[in-house]
Amino acid sequence: MSQGSAFEPPERVKSWLKMNKLGAGGFGSTWLYQSDSDADEYAAIKFLGQSPLSEPRTETVDRFRREGKIMKSLDHQSIAKLKDSDCETPWIAMEYFAGEDLKRVLVKRGALDQREWFRLASEMLNALTYMHQNKVIHRDLNPGNIIKILILY
């Protein structure tokens, strides 16, 4: 399945209805879907794109499967939970965190104030500590993969 700029995912994936594109990366593209039975439930569904030229497709699909397996094994408030997956198609549906990625926030606003930075850093370090305790290493930690959730207090 090619995932160039022309990739258009299905309107429906199981009980999920397509809303809009969230982003794209090295593994493919991620789209926002809404539950057809609960208007307040959303999922970020990642569709596997093309394999890198240096890697056979079977290897890319295996890495995608491992990602789903790892997500299924983790249970932490700051880590998106696996909702469903299908490695034949292949796609992974994960919990959707509303907010903006840190990269966009920094481009739009500039540096975070000290209070915001300490709260975000603390949440990230708690999640990374949990992952490391479970023998998982995040291999693509960058501002584009960190969602800054708006919390009013």
Enzyme catalytic residues: 140
Longest dimension (CA), the chain: 49
Long-range contacts (CB closer than 8 Å, 24 or more residues apart) made by 13-22: 13/45, 13/91, 13/93, 14/84, 14/93, 16/43, 16/45, 16/93
Helix (H, G, I), strand (E, B) or coil at 45: strand
Q: Measured on CA atoms in the order 31, 45, 42, 9, is the torsion positive or negative?
A: positive
